[in-house]
Every structure is written in structure tokens, then in C-alpha cells.
Structure 1
Amino acid sequence: MKNFFSGILTLALLLLAVVVYAQEGVITYENTMNMHRRLGSEQEAMKSMIPEYRTTKQQLFYNAQESLYKALEEDEDQFTASGGGMRINMRVPLNESYYDQGTARKVLLTEFMGKKYIIEDSIRISPWKFGTETKEIQGYTCKQAYYEDEAKKLAVVAWYTDKLRPALGPESFNTLPGAVLAVDINNGERVIKAIKVEQRPLRKGEMSRPSKGQKVTQQEYQAMVDEQMERMRQNGGRNVIIR
């Protein structure tokens, strides 16, 4: 019960801070993924078929209350790897994250097996702890925060600045008292870092709540993904998709 009220108080303080920072802008991030570390031991042979790192870019549009995180551009590199004709699809998945701090709600647009899905849920605050280190990112002095999620096998280190709007950041890393400009997941397995920060009025159409897709709950979506992954394992996994 104590943790529940603590979470409510933290969210209330974040929402109050959002009102103070009435600003708009766009932050461009570079997302670097170590694909070799994401392969299981049974997929060791695939390391010679794919590059070790893959980098994509995303943009975070924000105003005083809302934010929208989406891919800067979408591309797909597809090739047929040697050895039994295994086909490896490497592409940027369709993912958009819309957050409304005024209502404490989020809307996620995701694509799975060629179909779009809309997931709406409440905003959850990660169990952040605060460090003492600082670093400069794009001219902003950033403070350190971190947490671990044993269930999801995640170790997250984030860097945020209190000179931009609070409760702002890439993906779900947006519940800190500032704007998150860098995230390190699992000690370099994936690194997200701001490469450009623009404080400017948003243009028409840049802030739009995702709406086109089948509405499902997070539990329904995860069950569907798990079922498909199990089906692929039973079929031998001849077609591999790396996201």
C-alpha cells in the first residue's frame, strides 16, 4: 500500500511539473542494437550471416502534455542467407508510442505478422533509483538514474536533463523528472542516445494519436506473440525476423 501511494505521489509531481514546462520540440535519437547478443546459443551459426550492430533513428515529438515517439524512416533489408535457404528479414518494426501525461494514459501502435494493433493502457512508473554521476549530451548536463527488472532480465541506465520538459523520453523511458536523452540497456546490448534536440513549435500533423489498428489489451497481444513464436519453433523456424 505504501508503494502504491508513493507511485501516485510521484506521478502527481511529474504531472505538476509538466504544466510548468509549456514548451514544444523534437528530439532525434539513434538506437544501436547488438544483434549478436540477442541470438540464442542455438543460433550461433547466424552470427556470420548478420552484422553485429544495427542502428536506426527515431524522433520524439512533444508539447506541454503529449509526446509521440516513432521511427524517423522505415526500411527493410532482406536477403537469403547461405545454408539451407534460410531467409533473414531485417527491418524496422512499425512502433509508435503516444503518451498523454494529462490523463496518465498511453497508446501504443505496433505491427505483428503484417497486422497493426493498438494497445491503450495507463502509464506505469519504473522503479528508478538515482545516481550521482553526470554527463553532457547535446549540450545538456544530464543526471543518472537506473533500475533493474529481474523478471524481464533488464538492467537500465538512463541520463536525463531537467532543462527540458519532465516525464519525457524514448519508448517507455519517460517517467523521470526531466527529459531522457540517453538509455543503456543491459550494458550495451541496446543504446539509445539523442543526436539532435530542437526546441520549436510543432508542425501540423507531427503530433497525432495512433488510431489505425485492431484494439487489444497488452495481455491479449502478448499471448498472441507467444503463440506465434511457439508455432515457429515447432515448424523449425525457417524464416527468422530480427527486430
Structure 2
Amino acid sequence: MKLIITSFLLLFSMLISAQDFQGKAIYQSKTSFDFSQMGPRAQQMSEEQKKQMLDRMKPMLEKTYVLTFNKSESVFKEEEKLEAPGQGGGWGRMMGKSFSPGKQYKDIKENKWLEKRDFFGKQFLIKEPLKKLDWKLGSETKIIGNYTCYKATAIKEVDEMDWRSMRRRKPKTSEDKDSLAKDSISNKDPMSEIETPKTIEVTAWYTPQVPVSQGPSKYWGLPGLILEVNADRTTILCTKIVMNPGEKETIEAPSKGKEVTTKEYNDIVKKKMEEMREMYRGRRGGGGFRH
């Protein structure tokens, strides 16, 4: 049996060593939504109302991605598909496009990371050095499809504007609790109730049967292709792998958009959200409520 496995891995290594090697992996991403992390009004919603809200949010919470990779480069992008009439609300689609990543490119040899973002009709290009997680390799295994996978864990810093990890802020003092309650009632600053953890623990499952140090999104750096990632409330699971597809794609970095860092992009998003809050308050209360 060991001889068969060794021969299999040797065959894969020879395949990947080929100059024109390319692979493609399909991933399903699903983010759970916790109503208890929302305000009192959401917690008082009926089960039917919650179901309707989840249906509208489905374009944000459930996505299909394609990872196209070779030995050193990869592109991770959402699969383009036509939606059936009436599927998902316009709000869900708008939020899904504005707050979800676009085409993501990484070059593990040159330590490059580029990400295309479309935010309310404007194009941005996030460009930064590629960060590697400090993975702790474990001995636990499980089967995903036809592949034997090994467990690895790491502590990952969370992007402050990553909505998938946002949660209701817990007041530390009674004064803090009163302040949050007043802001919630007056709609002074809804974001004052929201916080994002500084770090989260990530669990990844990788397979040495595909010996490339690639994975979905920013996850990479393991001795095998990452087939599953569990990060906070989000699970990314590989459902299909195609080695050397008949029609190869060009793996290239996105190039259009205003070049920014992650911090610069987040500042732009926060400024836009503040403008939207001001507009919302003006429509609700009119100028007479401002002093």
C-alpha cells in the first residue's frame, strides 16, 4: 500500500514539474448568520421573517469560487452564473458585490498579492506583500472527496471591514451599555454596536496528494493544496479538482483600478458608510433634528 501511495505522489510530482502544469479547484463558501448578534429588533423577528431575511442575504452568504493554479501562481475568483428571476433580493446582490472580494491573485514565489475590488461603482486594486500564516501541522486526517487531508491550524489577523466576522459589541461597563442603547434607539451610529475581533483561529485541511502550496483566497503555505478552511463563521470547501484541464486559462494579476493598500481601501469604505448614514439620518429626521 505504501508503495502505491509513494508511486502516486511521485506521478503527481512529475506532473506538477511539467512546464505547462495547471490545476483548477471549485470551492463552495458558506457563512452562517447569527441573529443573536444583531439588535433587539432582529431577535424579536418571527421564524418566517428570519427565513425571508436569510433568503435575501443568500447572495452574500453562499458563493461558489474557482481557484486556478500552477506551481507558484493562482487566481481565486467568484464563479459567474446567471440568477433565476426573483432569486435573492436586490439589496443582497448589491451588498454581496460591494463587500465581497473580486479577483484575487497571489504569487508565492515573488511574494505578491493583488485583489480587485468594486465598491459602489468604483474600481480599486489592493496591492500588498503576500502574508504567510504560522501554520501548526497536526496528525489528524479526514477524507475529502478522493483525497486524504491533514489538519493544520493558525491564528489569523482579521480585516476590520470583514463583515463575515463582525458581531454585536459586548458592553464592558454599565455606562457603555447605556451609550450603546441610546445610539441604537436614535440611530446615531449603528456601527457603534458592531465590532470585529482582532484575530481568529483558522483550521485548514490540506492534501499532499496535490503537492502545491496553494489554497483559496489568502490561504496558502502548506505542503499540499488546501481543500477546506474553517474561519470563524465561514467554511470554504473544495467540491471538485481538475488537473491539467483541456482548456487552460491564463493566470495573470488584475491590473485595473486605483492602486491602494488594505488600510487605504478600508478608510474609503468607512468614509462612504458615514456618508450613507448621514444621508439616512437626513431622510428620517430632516434638518430640524440637527442642532
Task: Indicate the percent of aligned positions where both proteins have the same amino acid.
Answer: 28
2:274 matched residue in structure 1: 230
Gapped regions of structure 1 (runs ≥ 5): 1-17, 81-86, 239-243
- Single out whichever of 87-96 and 190-199 deviates more from structure 2: 87-96
Q: How far did 1:41 drift?
A: 2.9
Q: CA-atom RMSD, angstroms?
A: 3.1
Instruction: List structure 1 runs of 4+ shifted beyond 6 angstroms.
Output: none
- Among candidates 191, 207, 221, match of residue 235 of structure 2: 191
1:180 matched residue in structure 2: 226
2:22 matched residue in structure 1: 24
**TM-score with structure 2 setting the length:** 0.63
**TM-score with structure 1 setting the length:** 0.75
C-alpha separation in 2, matches of 1:163 and 1:28: 17
Distance 1:72 1:79, change over 3 A: closer
- Among candidates 31, 34, 40, match of residue 32 of structure 2: 34
2:115–2:126 Cα contact (<8 Å) kept: yes
**Higher Rg:** 2
1:79 aligns with 2:105: no
Q: How many residues align?
A: 213
2:64–2:79 Cα contact (<8 Å) kept: yes
2:22–2:248 Cα contact (<8 Å) kept: no
Counterpart of 1:179, as a letter, is L
1:25–1:202 Cα contact (<8 Å) kept: no
1:122 matched residue in structure 2: 129
C-alpha separation in 1, matches of 2:39 and 2:223: 39
C-alpha separation in 1, matches of 2:105 and 2:153: 23
Alignment of 1:123-202 (within 5 A): 123-149=130-156, 151-186=197-232, 189-201=233-245
Distance 1:114 1:40, change over 3 A: farther
1:47 aligns with 2:50: yes
Gapped regions of structure 2 (runs ≥ 5): 1-12, 158-196, 283-291
1:7 matched residue in structure 2: none
Q: How far did 1:214 drift?
A: 1.3
Q: Which has the higher strand share?
A: 1
- Among candidates 91, 102, 106, match of residue 96 of structure 2: 91
C-alpha separation in 2, matches of 1:175 and 1:95: 22
Distance 1:117 1:74, change over 3 A: farther
1:15 matched residue in structure 2: none
